[in-house]
Structures are given as structure tokens and as C-alpha cells.
Structure 1
Amino acid sequence: ASAGYLNQEGIVKHTGYERFNFRINASMNINKHIKAGVNFAPTISSQDRGESEGKDKVIMTALTMIPTIGINEGTRSLGFSKFRKDDVNPYERLRQVTDSRNIKNFDVASWVEANIIKGLTFKSMFNYSSENRIDEYFLPLDVQKMSVKSATASSKVISGSRTGWQNTLSYDFTLWKKHQMNVLLGQSIENRSIYTADMKATDFPLDNVPTLNQGATPSQASTLKNIVRTASLFGRLSYNYDDKYLVSASMRRDGSSRFGPSNRWATFPSVSAGWKINSEEFMKDIEFISLLKLRASWGMSGNDRIGYSDYVSTFTTGNVAYGNTSQIAIYPTNYANSDLKWETTKAFDFGFDLSLFKNRIQLNVDYYINRTDDLLYNLQLPAATGFNSMRTNLASIENRGWEIDLTTTNINTRSFKWSSTLNLSGNKNKVLDLGGNDEIITDAWNAQFITKVGGPISQFYTYLTDGLLTEADFEVGADGRYNPNKPLVPTVKGKKQRPGNVKYVDVDGSGSIDNDDRVAYGSNEPDVMFGFTNRFTYKDFELSIFLRGQIGGNVLWIGARNLDTGGKYGANNTLRRWLHCYKEDYPNGNPIPTELGVDMSWDGKTPTPYGLGDNSEQDGQLHRTDLEIFDATFLRIQNVSLAYNMPKKWLNALGIKAAKIYGTVENLHTFTDYVGNPDTNSYSTNPMLRGADYNTYPLSRKYIFGVNVTF
């Protein structure tokens, strides 16, 4: 039995997570042929989430907030919005907003195993899990934009259960001493039921009464029940000859109710082989080789992780426009696709394992080729269809890569030991097909990503820059001054120009900068990912240091539009680098004041501040350029742990078998040239929106202290 309690305060004010969990594992021998067991694991958790990440959320508004305003000033009651009508006080918003999630989970698993005859074993496993989740949200009027006229509240209740039953029959036998074989047959079924109730309301008379029934304008409540069923039949045959030659083949047949009747079932075979060369007779005199094994495998797997009923049309009722009136009607809520089928991946892997000097040096090397066909994707649809998107089998993608794991025992004495593990990997993906399309452009709040056949998945779709405009890039008038209306180089069509603006690359040679000059640029895929662990033991002390990072790859800072604009909005806080921007011909001919007592000389690269008009493009400056795409290379001290094992002579008198005192620091430091966390992805659920940093939750440093005691 074990129990745990976690109370973690968030690094953003008024956020946190609390969890209590309990586990009991029990097993028994019913007789010499039959044994059984059961596991119970209830968990209760609560989370204050806050409104941290994304557009207009707390992290972004905290960064752009004017630093001279008090943190307790309300948006409306104390005039916080007098500078911009859509400014909100991030601290007060965190303090007043209710954004909670409470979850109760219960998991139970039981099993029985019977040895029928020698080598023949039957095992049956049954599991049940339930989850009850309540999400509550209340946004008071006082901490909303001035353009918003009422408070908002919502409540969502999700109740779900999952049951599974699996049976296997396994037979192990040996023929003529050297031929070891195993045959496995099995079946499994799983049922999942999910019930959701969603309610919303607005127009609350008081900000301090957040109950839904107080809202004068309740929106239509909705309830939804989904049932998902899966079933599988599988078998495996394994063969081992004299611990030299290893062969295994398997086959499984999977069915999922997420697909229509004609595409519900799919078959997934696999095969693998290995050769332990060190067991051969010709290797017996090479004593420094402990293991040398070649291995290869090929197999297919499937993915059915989509909505519960994407293949059929679902309907709801509500008000729709009919002529000049509003009528209650039944209308579809999704664009059904009856042709949906399993996403499949064919994986080939070849590698070898090498151990030297009684396993003091261990090396594992793999090279793989994975091809995914019929990629399940939520495709954006034109507005004329009446739907935002539809689920479809869209693409074929190939991944080629390699992995290297090296473990060494560097020092091994009686009192001191030092071992190291180095992990290296690299992957390159290539789009083979996009369902007949040459490319797909995907939007993500004022940013675009492009996926093209023949290229990697999800590249940034952006403008290229080439330094800054100077007076030499304009015609000179009779007065000896440059003419901003007569540039000598391609500029943004129809936009006012000035020296100090960004100079863009005219990719298509049209003579002006427009949408056709955007290109696929960079990728979030790193060249190399690595991890490096060192473990030290000195008498009763243990020290472990884990470093992690990557070389290459890019990240798009979407938040740059708000923060890295040189004070575009007039009252914004902004990055310090804008003190050193190009200052000639500033708005209305007024230079930036220099009486601030700081160096404000031009750094030779920062342009004139963006958005001197009503938007960023009125003076010829564009957003989403290569200037907002950064190198994602980083090195992180991921984990440092120090432990002390108390001597047994101290513990024996107390009836304690072992006791360890330890301390751990996680995310100690990250070395990177990027302004934020380069190892982030704001749209992680969409494979075609990779590498975006949209004001994500800060990476926290954790200090953990604990004691492990064994009785």
C-alpha cells in the first residue's frame, strides 16, 4: 500500500495544483496452479488554472503592462483602461477570476492466472476506471476589456468510465534442448462512456455572485453522451535457437467504433529478428566483447484517436435565421466523413547492441524509417461550407532518423563509482502526399504555417528581410531630402515608407512586397536532440546530474506582435532593445527623448518602431517575418539530485530496513539565445502548427526534498 500528497503552488500568482492519491496492491496463491491479484488506486485533485497562456491572457498582459501602474488597480473601477480600452490588469484578473478544475478518479484492476499444464498459462485481466471532472469559470466584469459589457460564467461536468477485459493463453516449450518457443494468443475488449454537460451565462448583476442562475442571460445548456468500443484479437510466435538466433512474428486485428462499419477493422502485422554474434563459436576467444547483437524489425500500427462520431452527422437544436426572423431548428454540428479509416504507420528499424569489458561500455545504435499513411487530420474548411473543419485521412509522411545510447562505467572502486549515459538522436520528416494538394496553409492567430509535398511538415510561412531601408533607397527631392513616396527598392504596396523600416526580399520579383513573397522558412525539427546523465556514488552519498537539449530547429515567437513592437500601442511596455532603434523621422518629426539618462544610440539593426499608424502595416512594416523566428538550440540542466543513504547500523535498532534523504532541483537553468522557452509548442495537438510560442506558461524551477523509508 502507498499514499501520496502533493501541494504545488504555481509560479503564476493564484494558480496551483493539489493532489491526494492512494494505492493498494494485493495478490494471493489460491492453490499451486492458480493465483490472483487486485489493485485499487483512487485519486482526488484540484487545480486553480488561471488564465495564463494565449491571446489576451495573463502572461502577455503582464509583460506589456505599464510598469508605473499599481497592481491592485481594477480595469474599470480604478481606471486601468484609460490608456487603452482593451488593457486589463493581469494581477487583478488572476485574483478575481475563477478558473478551477476538480477531478475524482478511481481505478481498479484485477487478474487471475492459471498454470494449466507445464508451460501452458492462461491469464485474464479486468480493469475499470472512472473520472468525474468539474470545470468552473467566472470572469467578472471589472477585469475585462472596456469593450465587454457583462461578466461571464460557465460550468462543465464530465463523467466517464472505462472497462476493459483481456484474456491471453501462452505456451512455452523447448525442443531438443536448443529450440525455445513461445506461442501467445489473446483477445481484448474495451468500452468507454463519457457524459458531458456544459452550461454558460452572462449579464450578472454583481461580480461577487458567480452562480450560473444569477446570470440574466443564460445561454443554451448542452448535454452529450458518447460511447466508444474497441476490440482486438492478437497472436505472437517467438523462437530462440541456442540463445543465438531470435525470431518473433505477431499479428493483431483491431476494431474501433470511431470509424464507420466498412472501415472499422484493420490488421497490423509485425516481425523481428536478432543475431547474438557473441554466442557464436568463432567469438568465444574474444573475451572483451560481452555482447554483440544485430537486430531488425518491421511492423504496422494503427491510430484511431479522433472524435467519437466524426464519421456520422450529429445534430443539435437552436435559433437560426429564417428570413427576417429567428426560428428554432435542428441543424448539423459537424461535417461528417463516412470514409474515415485507421491511420497506419509502417516502421522499419535496424540496429545493434554492443557491450565491452564485462558491460563497462554499452552501446545501442538504431536507424529507423517510419511511414505514416492516411494521417488523421482536422482540415480547415471554407466559410461557405458553414463548418470550421472536417476530420479526414489527409497525408502520407515519412520519418527517417537515428538513435545512439552510450553507457559507460568510468570508475568502479569499493567506495567510489562514476557512470555516464549519453543519448543522441536525430529525425527528418518528409511529406509524401497531401491528399492531392501541393501544399496546405494553416492559420494560428496572425501567423501561418505551410506544409508542402517534398518538404518537412509544418514550416513557418513568412516574409524574408534584408536589413533596413536607408535614405539611399529613396529618390532625393529638390530640397535634398529623401522622398518617402518614391522608394528605389521593392516595398510594401500602398504603404508609407521611411528610412529605418525593415527592408523585405522581393521573392517573386514583382517590384512590390505582397502575399506572394512569403516563403516556407525553417522548421521546428531539431538537427540533434541529446541527453547526458552522470551518476556518482561515494560511500553512502549519491549524486546525479542530467543535462538535456537540442541543436538546431526554430521557434516562432507569436507574442512578439504585442511586446516586440517598439511601443506600437503607445502605452505598452516593450523590450529594452527598442531604446536603440532607428530614430530618424520618428512620428511627427519628433525624436525619441534622450533625457532618460540611458544610452539610446542606434545599435545598427533595430528598425523604426512598428505601427505608427492604426496598425502595423500602415507604415510599411509587416509582422510574421523571419525576424520573429529564432534558433531553438538550448542546453538545460534538467535535474540535479543528491541523496544520502543512512547506514544500516543506525537503522537496525529502529526496525528500519533502509532510509534515504534526498534533495532534487529540476530545471535548474537553460542556456539559450531565445528570449523564452525554446522547448515549447503552443499548438501541440496540431501536427501542422509546430514550433509556436504563444505566451506559454513559464518553465518553473522546482526544489524537492524528501525521505524514503523501508520497513
Structure 2
Amino acid sequence: MRKTALMVLCFLVATLQLLAQTKTLSGKVTDDKGAPVANASVLVKGTKQGTVTKEDGTFSITVNSTAKVLVISAIGKAPQEITIGSSSQIGVVLANTNNELDEVVVVGYGTGKKKANVAGSLTKLDGAVVENKPAANMLDALQGKVGGLQVYSSTGEPSATPSVRLHGVGSLGASNTPLYVLDGIPVGPGSIVSLNPNDIESITVLKDPSTTAIYGSRAASGVILYTTKKGRASAPQLNVTTQYGVSNLVETTEDMFNSFMNTKQLTDFWIATGYRTQAQVNTLLAQYPYDTKWYKTYYKNNVPTFQLDANMSGGGGKTTYYVSGSYFKQDGLAYRSMFERYTFRSNVQSQVNSWFKFGLNLSGGLDKRQTNPDGANSTNRGLAMLAAPFFSPVDANGVEYPDLIPGWNRYNPKYRADKLRSDGRNVQFNPTAYAEITPIKNLVIRSQAGMDAYDYTTTSIQMPSFIGSLNNGSASESFERGSQSTVTNTMEYKFDIADNHDFTLLAGQEYIKGNTQGFSGSSNGHTDDRLLLINAGPNNRNASSFRTEYSYQSFFGRLNYSFKSKYFIDLSLRQDQSSRFGRDNRTANFWSAGVLWKAKQENFLANTTWLTDLNVRASYGTSGNSAIGNYDNLTTVGTGIYENQSTFGISTAGNPQLGWESQKQTTVGVDMVLFKRLNIKADYYLRETGAQYFLVPFPYTSGFDEVRYNVGSIQNKGIDLEISADILKSKDAFITPFVALNYNKNKITELFQGRNYWVVPNTGVSYVIGQPVTFLYPIWAGVNPTNGDPQWYLPDATTPDGFVQNSTTDPTRVTSTFNSSTLQQTTGIQRYAPFNGGFGLDAGYKGFFLNANFSFSEGKYLINNDAYFFENPNQFPGFNQSVNVLDYWQKAGDNSRFPRNGVQFTQFDSRLIQDASFMRLKGLTVGYNIPKAILDKSKFLRTAQFTITGRNLWTLTNYGGPDPEVDSNLSLGANPNTKQIVVGLSLGF
């Protein structure tokens, strides 16, 4: 008994001594607006002892009695050092640094590093920029946000992928789309529309060779990295967001549609020009006494948009998780235009022990797509405004005609949508898994595998009940399966020498294999709407199939060096081998070198109070482009059928010498922070692309009209500028405007076969050495005021081949005889807009917040092919026309827009090349976060937010067509962009 008592006494004494040597501290970390800061680091200064804050910002840590100071830090916040006193309760406020340079970024494999220490040009955006936007594709929300990144939404189709270019057009014969990388795995542009934007944690745009060269053959057009959300160690958290809204035509599109003549204007014009007599008009109007705005028939109003997103995240011990599901549906304004998407994601990570961790990301989705087919030359939508206004889609009682519209003799678009069906269904799968070991300190070995896979099925049906082909229905179905598998292995080692010299070495290997295969079948002669399978059609049964494959084998390495954390050098090297090229040209080497100087750390700037930070960067490097067909280097064989036997024949010439398109780029830039409030990022770049993939014309006697070669070069140079400022920053309010600008100038520096110019067939575009890509058309000289004849400028007859490199506008050298081939000349109008960018504002007061984003393009031009139909009454008699045609020559002395009656009003000349520059209020969000004090009373709500969001709410443009944002040389029958207004509610539990 005495022994037991003695043991208890010893234990109590030891416990009291231990308690006397330690102390438990508790507290809460908030930002300068009072919001909790989760995952902030709480570290005992001078030791590795620490913890992280919970989701509500609270923490608890037991420290030794010798501990004097706690260091509290978080990404994007200014760190705080707190002296440990007698109190065990600590309250810490971490102010926003407003310095993006403190962010951690992952740049091309390996572990992350501070943005301030990257000797390259990049822009990192928080995932919030794409969350809860009323568009299916997250790329749309990037418009105007990144200097140098041009994003155009060319159509109002909800399922469409915007066109994206970085620093202009770097290739005239291959793709200019950036490389998209999702959680370290390359994915195709079409996969982006199948992802849930609310799953994105951050988006990083890599712009210069120092950041892109390590991606080698696919990085010539830049790289966009998407990182999805991960779980954090905390109690389970459930977030639910829902939105509902409507879509309508953009006002400028409505203005264009309203600019067509009404019934009186059209019939008066016919009488004035002798096309119809008054008696004929009276008879016509007696039968059709209407005045119809046809766009209201072919485009719907207040079309719904709905989305629902739910995610749960958390973790405990060594494992974290993030699980989400979403539903999105948006109908287009045109009939048979729709996108419906279901997605699921599960991201799990586990730190098994101190040297091994792994992760598994599973992402899948199903989407259904309908795309309106009636653009281009179709009067069933694209050119439907040609319908005479006195016809009507409804009868005298206001009842809609169920099928054929009398007079107009076109089908009701609802009827066509019901009887002529085309539906697409896509199943998307993007799994990623990795394993990472740290066998010794600072050595990380990582293996990662992932896939970008899809199954796409298209079903097209013409119902047998369609009165345009009664009892003769048709059915076709095609199936395509594509996958790109990527396996990456890397080894990264970090070490320092004498504390001042820091090194990071990375070596890696990557293998990519892609394949696409599919088949299709069709038949017709169906007689029953209930029997629509292909085998129910007795006539014209057809079947076909295809398959393509490609692969890449790559090795790469990178060296990062810094001296005193002030001077940095980044070096990278990559070797790619591709099956897309000839045996002797499959291998290419790409490299880059970048330097960074953290000038603010120099003694002569250290005490400059107005200069908060200053980094100067420079880089040079190479990259490549392999975005061509899988078999362009090979002579391929095609098959056919002759007398029930298979036939074979050479279908493409191939080119065994085909190799890599190469690119060299120099970038010089500066990042600075002034007065702790003003962030400025500026870059100058010079990009030169050689050995381009040109389809070189060949004599038809060879059996081929063109063969792909590595010839020609183009240069792009320009300036990126990104500015943001904290005009007001306090606990209750903030105002932060931002600007993102790019000026880009392109120039053709070499063509093929020794040519000085090349006219791209059937495009209205020409390539001339020493000039930008330029529109090539006959140049309009106006209407002769004496006789009303049209006039065009004659090209310079002294120029060889009659081609004029510089436009000629000599008023003494005109002709009234139109000939497209003999009058064509360089117009001096650039095909690609030199100025692109955006600006906006983030602001808030207490729980209220506002985000506005404008985008613009200046110097953008389009061939408005719609105007050829809508401003040509002599070519399209009996159809409606724009009110513009009323300005035609009628008597001597008239200064008119169009020539006299009886002469073709509009030709394919420079008048159709219209200024499509525009400015758009791309996004506007206003919202309110319900205060935590109110939510706490509910006992279950953690956060609650109400928002109203608009997209494309306002547009400024002088373009005369339906939509200035079309990214093409020519626009005809475009399905125009739409504006959306949605209301949303987000709840956190």
C-alpha cells in the first residue's frame, strides 16, 4: 500500500512539473474584414512545433514555457508575430497583403513555389472568377481578366467552347489554342465544357518560355493550368448553391433585327423601284395584312437557366476529401439549342506516414447537347429576317400555324425542331491518381497517371410524319470514343549551400497515348414515328467506322537556383518524340532560361517606403506545336467499293520530312507593388514562329492539290499590362478596380516557294511578307453622284500579278465594272484585333459586395456576309431588306450609300468588312453575405449568400451584323450571344 501511494505521489509531482513547463494557448485568426481565416499556420518561432486553424479560424496549441513568440501566417496575408504573455487567449488579425506575389503556384510539374520567386510570366486567378456564372463553359468567365489572353464567345449556343488565343496568332497552319492541364493531366478544349466550374480552386495562365517550355511540343500557344478543390482537415462541411435565371437576346442584336423594313417601308420601296405596282401591293396586303417582327418567331424570350451544386469536404487524421455533384441546364434562344450537364467529383488525399502520400481524383459527367443547325445560308433562322413582314406565323385569330407558314413557305421553327431532331450525348471521364514518396529529406519522387476520356453519341432523325417528306423518315447515329492517357514520373530534390545558395533539381519522364475510334450507321424510308431505329429504315442503309492513334514520349528537367533569395535563375529542358512526324524528325528539343531580380531587397531600395515590392524578370526559350493530323506525314490509302469489291487508292500524299513547328520567344517583365495598394504587372514579348504547317499548293497533275510542309514564319510582339489597386481597404469596406490589357502586332516574315504574298482561297484574307494578316477585297470607291453607278478603285497596274500590297485609293483610277479577281487588293485592314482586354471593379461594404467585369476588343473586323443578303434588293427580290437600302441613288447630285436601282447594291467588296470592335459588360454580380451573428442563431447554418448575376448585360459596337464577338474572318447566320440574369442562393452547413 505504501509503495502504491509513493508511486501515485511521484506521478502527481511529475505531472505538476510537466504542467509548469507547458502552456496551452487558444485563439482565433480573422482577416481585416473580420472573416475567419482557415488553415492559417500557427508556429512557435524558431521551432517546428505548430498547428493550423480550423474552418472557423480557431486554434489551440500547447507550448513549452521557454516559448516566447508565435508566428501566425496564411497565404495572401501579412504574417504576424505574437509575443506569448500571461494570457492563454489570443486574438490575431491578418491583413491582406494585396500582393499576389506571395501566392504559391505550381509551374509545370514538381512542388509549388512562391509566385514572387518564379522567373517567368504568369497570372493566377482564384476559382471564384468562374464559380456560379450563368454560362456552361468556364472559359467564358476569363474574358477580359488576363492580359494577353483573348477569349471570344462566338455563338449563343450553350454547349459551345469559346475560342482562346494567347499573344495573338502564333501559327497560320496549326491550332492556336493553349494547352489545358487539369490537375497535372493534359485535357482537350472540349473537355472544359464538361467540367463543373464550381470545382475549380484556381486557374493559372502561363505566358512566357520560362514557364511553358517544360511542356515542350504543346506549349507554343501558352498553357492554362486548372487545379480542382481539395479537402482540408476539419469537420465535414456541406455547401449547396442554386441559381435560376433567364436568357434573352443582347440589345445590339435586337437593334439589328429591328432595323429591317416594316410592311409599309418595304411595299413603298417596291412601288418606288417598280418591283410592284400599287394595285399588286393592295392585293397582297389584303391577303396578308400583318407587320411581323420575325426574330420573335425564330428566337425565344426569357429562356430558363438553372443550376444546382452541392459539395462536401473535410478530413481528419491523415486523410482529406472533397466530393461534389452538380446539375446545369440552359436552353438556347434558337430552337433545338440546349445544354444539360450532370457532373460528379471525388478528390481524396491521404498522408499515410511521414514519407508516403497518395491521392485519387475521380471526375465524371454526362451532358446532353442540341445545336441549332439553321445558320449560314438557311432562311430557317440564320437568314430568316429575309421574310417579308406582311406574312405572319399566326392566323387572324392569333393562332400559330402548326407547320407551314403561309406566304413565307417555311416551317414553323417549333415544328422543324420537333420533326427534324439531332441530339448529342457526351459521357466524360477524367480520373487522376498519384503516389508520392520522400525517401530522404527534401527528395520527392512522384508518379501520376490520368486520363481524358469521352464517349460521344449523335442521333439524327427526320420523323416520318414530317410533311416535307411524308412517310420517308430517316435515322442516323454515330458513336465516337476518345481517350488520352498520360503517365508522368518526376523526381525533385531541394538543397542549399551555405544558406545563401538554394537549388531545386527536377527530372521527369512523361508518356502520352491517344486514340479515337468510332462508327456510324444510317438508313431512310421510315414510315412510323414509333419505329425510328436504323434497322427500321429499308433504304440506303450505310455503315462506316474509323480509328486514329498517336503517342508522345518525353523527358524533361529543370534547375531553379537562387542567391540570398534575391537573384533567381530558372533553366528547363525538354525532349519530345511524337508519332505524328516522319521517322527522321520525330525528336525535338525545347529549352528556356529565365532570370529574376528581387530589386526591392537591394539596400538602395529597402527604405523606399512608397515602393512595397519590385521584381524584374527576363526569359528566353523555345517551344513547339504539333497540333496537326495524326497521319499528315504518311502517304495514306483510302478504300471504296466497285462492283461489290473493295478498292484501294492513295488518298493523301504525305510528307516524310514533316517535323516540328518551332517557336522562339523573348519576354521582359516587371512586377511591382506601390504604397502597399497598387499592383502592376507589365510584360513585353517577342514571339517568332518558324517551320509552320502550311498546306502548300501543288499542281493538280500530281494527283493532289496541296501537301503539308514546314515552311514560312510569323512574328508576334506586344505588351501585356495588369493593374489592380486597393483604393479603399478597411474592416467594413473595400474598393478594388482592375485592368488587363494587351497590344499585339503580327507580321508575316516568310512564305513558301519564294512567294511575297499568298491569297488564302475563299477567305478574303491574304498573307503578305512584312505585313499583318490582312483582308483582301476589292475596295469600294463610293457611288458616282452624277449617274448613280457603283465605283471601285483600280489596283496598281504596275504591281506584278496585279496584286497590290498596299491599298490604292486614287480617285482618278476607278471603275464601275465589278470583277472580284481583277479588283482584289490588300485593304490595309487587319484580320486580328491588335487591342484586347478588360477592366472592372470588386467592391464591398460589410456584408454587401459587387463585382463588375467589362471586356473589349478594339480594331476587330469581320466580313459581314449577312449584309450581302440583307442589303441587296436586286439580287433577292421579294424578300425583306435592311432599312439601309432606302439610301440609294435616285437623281443627279445624290450622295447615297447604294447605287441606283437596277444595279446590284452590294458586292463582295470592302463595304462588307465592318468594324466589329466591341465593349461588353461581361459580368456583373451583386450580393449579400448574411452576418455570422444571425446565422449562429440557426444552430446549423455556417454561411448564407444571396446573389444576382448578369452576363452580357450591355454591349457597345458599330458592327451591323448579329454579333461582333464572332471569332472568324467572316460571319454569316451566326447564332448570336445572349444575355442572362440569374438569382442565386448559397448555403453552408
Partner in structure 2 of residue 479 of structure 1: none
Q: Cα distance 1:697–1:678, how it changes in 2: closer, same or farther (>3 A)? A: closer
**Greater alpha carbon shift after TM alignment, 377-386 vs 346-355:** 377-386
Partner in structure 2 of residue 352 of structure 1: 670
Per-residue deviation, residues 588-643 of structure 1 (Å, max 9, x unmatched):
xxxxxxxxxxxxx988323346xx5xxxxxx4666221111111221111100012
Q: How big is the shift at 1:197?
A: 0.9
**2:741 pairs with one of 424, 447, 450:** 424
**2:566 pairs with one of 244, 255, 268:** 244
Per-residue deviation, residues 492-517 of structure 1 (Å, max 9, x unmatched):
xxxxxxx4342111223696653222
Q: Secondary structure of the residue that 2:822 maps to in structure 1?
A: helix
Write the distance in 2 (CA, Å) between the matches of 1:220 and 1:452: 46
Are the aligned partners of 1:541 and 1:642 in contact in 2 as well (CA < 8 Å)?
A: yes
Q: How big is the shift at 1:114?
A: 0.9
Matches within 5 A, 1:284-323: 284-319=606-641
- Normalised by the length of structure 2, the TM-score is 0.61
Amino acid at match of 2:941: I
Write the distance in 1 (CA, Å) between the matches of 2:705 and 2:476: 23
Partner in structure 1 of residue 20 of structure 2: none
Write the distance in 2 (CA, Å) between the matches of 1:218 and 1:680: 41
Structure 1 position 623 matched with structure 2 position 907: yes
Write the distance in 1 (CA, Å) between the matches of 2:625 and 2:555: 16
Partner in structure 1 of residue 851 of structure 2: 544
Are the aligned partners of 2:617 and 2:670 in contact in 1 as well (CA < 8 Å)?
A: yes
**1:525 pairs with one of 825, 832, 838:** 832
**Greater alpha carbon shift after TM alignment, 571-580 vs 624-633:** 571-580
**1:441 pairs with one of 740, 759, 766:** 759
Q: How big is the shift at 1:351?
A: 1.2
Structure 1 position 658 matched with structure 2 position 943: yes
Q: Secondary structure of the residue that 1:305 maps to in structure 2?
A: coil
Q: Cα distance 1:242–1:440, how it changes in 2: closer, same or farther (>3 A)? A: same
Partner in structure 1 of residue 769 of structure 2: 453
**1:36 pairs with one of 358, 361, 364:** 358
Write the distance in 1 (CA, Å) between the matches of 2:880 and 2:570: 63
Write the distance in 1 (CA, Å) between the matches of 2:700 and 2:866: 27
Write the distance in 1 (CA, Å) between the matches of 2:765 and 2:545: 35
Are the aligned partners of 1:680 and 1:693 in contact in 2 as well (CA < 8 Å)?
A: no
**1:700 pairs with one of 965, 972, 978:** 978
Q: Cα distance 1:406–1:575, how it changes in 2: closer, same or farther (>3 A)? A: same
Write the distance in 1 (CA, Å) between the matches of 2:402 and 2:932: 65
Q: How big is the shift at 1:138?
A: 3.3
Partner in structure 2 of residue 647 of structure 1: 931
Are the aligned partners of 1:139 and 1:151 in contact in 2 as well (CA < 8 Å)?
A: yes
Structure 1 position 535 matched with structure 2 position 859: no
Q: How big is the shift at 1:212?
A: 3.1
Partner in structure 1 of residue 783 of structure 2: 468
Structure 1 position 111 matched with structure 2 position 434: yes
Q: Cα distance 1:90–1:376, how it changes in 2: closer, same or farther (>3 A)? A: farther
Are the aligned partners of 2:593 and 2:621 in contact in 1 as well (CA < 8 Å)?
A: yes
Partner in structure 2 of residue 616 of structure 1: none
Structure 1 position 680 matched with structure 2 position 977: no
Amino acid at match of 2:632: D
Q: Secondary structure of the residue that 1:570 maps to in structure 2?
A: coil
Structure 1 position 7 matched with structure 2 position 329: yes
Q: How big is the shift at 1:329?
A: 2.0
Q: How big is the shift at 1:468?
A: 0.6
Per-residue deviation, residues 185-232 of structure 1 (Å, max 9, x unmatched):
001111112112133445555788654334454264221111211111
Q: Secondary structure of the residue that 2:886 maps to in structure 1?
A: helix
Per-residue deviation, residues 497-555 of structure 1 (Å, max 9, x unmatched):
xx434211122369665322211221232232221111111000110111111222311
Per-residue deviation, residues 349-400 of structure 1 (Å, max 9, x unmatched):
0111121112x01111111000111222445666655556543334211001
Q: Secondary structure of the residue that 1:221 maps to in structure 2?
A: strand
Structure 1 position 131 matched with structure 2 position 454: yes
Are the aligned partners of 1:51 and 1:58 in contact in 2 as well (CA < 8 Å)?
A: no
Q: Secondary structure of the residue that 1:213 maps to in structure 2?
A: helix
Partner in structure 2 of residue 259 of structure 1: 581
Write the distance in 2 (CA, Å) between the matches of 1:242 and 1:305: 42
Write the distance in 2 (CA, Å) between the matches of 1:371 and 1:187: 28
**1:158 pairs with one of 468, 476, 480:** 480
User: Sequence identity, in percent?
Assistant: 23
Partner in structure 2 of residue 375 of structure 1: 692
- Normalised by the length of structure 1, the TM-score is 0.84
Give structure 1 stretches of 5+ with no counterpart.
473-498, 586-600, 613-618, 683-689
Write the distance in 2 (CA, Å) between the matches of 1:423 and 1:373: 29
Amino acid at match of 1:405: E
Per-residue deviation, residues 297-333 of structure 1 (Å, max 9, x unmatched):
111111111112121133232246xxxx997521233
**Greater alpha carbon shift after TM alignment, 559-568 vs 397-406:** 559-568
Partner in structure 2 of residue 506 of structure 1: 794
**Greater alpha carbon shift after TM alignment, 240-249 vs 62-71:** 62-71
Q: Cα distance 1:385–1:641, how it changes in 2: closer, same or farther (>3 A)? A: farther
Amino acid at match of 2:731: R
Write the distance in 1 (CA, Å) between the matches of 2:741 and 2:596: 23
Q: Secondary structure of the residue that 2:984 maps to in structure 1?
A: strand
Write the distance in 1 (CA, Å) between the matches of 2:377 and 2:973: 8
**2:648 pairs with one of 330, 335, 357:** 330
Q: Cα distance 1:352–1:77, how it changes in 2: closer, same or farther (>3 A)? A: closer
Structure 1 position 606 matched with structure 2 position 898: yes
Amino acid at match of 1:182: T
Alignment coverage as a number of residue pairs: 641
Write the distance in 2 (CA, Å) between the matches of 1:670 and 1:386: 50
Structure 1 position 51 matched with structure 2 position 373: yes
Write the distance in 2 (CA, Å) between the matches of 1:92 and 1:583: 43
Write the distance in 1 (CA, Å) between the matches of 2:647 and 2:864: 43
**2:509 pairs with one of 172, 175, 187:** 187
Write the distance in 1 (CA, Å) between the matches of 2:465 and 2:958: 38
Q: Cα distance 1:101–1:576, how it changes in 2: closer, same or farther (>3 A)? A: same
Are the aligned partners of 2:873 and 2:881 in contact in 1 as well (CA < 8 Å)?
A: yes
Write the distance in 2 (CA, Å) between the matches of 1:111 and 1:317: 44
Q: Cα distance 1:152–1:694, how it changes in 2: closer, same or farther (>3 A)? A: farther
Between Structure 1 and Structure 2, the one with more helix by share is 2
Are the aligned partners of 1:405 and 1:421 in contact in 2 as well (CA < 8 Å)?
A: yes
Per-residue deviation, residues 425-467 of structure 1 (Å, max 9, x unmatched):
11010111112232222234xx52211222212x222111121
Amino acid at match of 2:933: K
Q: Cα distance 1:508–1:17, how it changes in 2: closer, same or farther (>3 A)? A: same
Write the distance in 2 (CA, Å) between the matches of 1:558 and 1:503: 20
Per-residue deviation, residues 96-145 of structure 1 (Å, max 9, x unmatched):
22121100112211111111111111111111342111012235699899
Write the distance in 2 (CA, Å) between the matches of 1:243 and 1:376: 43
Partner in structure 2 of residue 565 of structure 1: 872
**2:885 pairs with one of 567, 573, 578:** 578
Write the distance in 1 (CA, Å) between the matches of 2:865 and 2:611: 53
Structure 1 position 393 matched with structure 2 position 710: yes
Q: How big is the shift at 1:150?
A: 7.5
Are the aligned partners of 1:376 and 1:394 in contact in 2 as well (CA < 8 Å)?
A: yes
Are the aligned partners of 2:858 and 2:918 in contact in 1 as well (CA < 8 Å)?
A: yes
Amino acid at match of 1:347: Q
Give structure 2 stretches of 5+ with no counterpart.
1-322, 396-400, 798-812
**1:275 pairs with one of 569, 594, 597:** 597
Q: Cα distance 1:46–1:186, how it changes in 2: closer, same or farther (>3 A)? A: same
Write the distance in 2 (CA, Å) between the matches of 1:168 and 1:456: 42
Larger RCO of the pair (alpha carbons < 8 Å, separation 6+): 2
Q: Cα distance 1:529–1:637, how it changes in 2: closer, same or farther (>3 A)? A: same
Q: Cα distance 1:605–1:150, how it changes in 2: closer, same or farther (>3 A)? A: farther
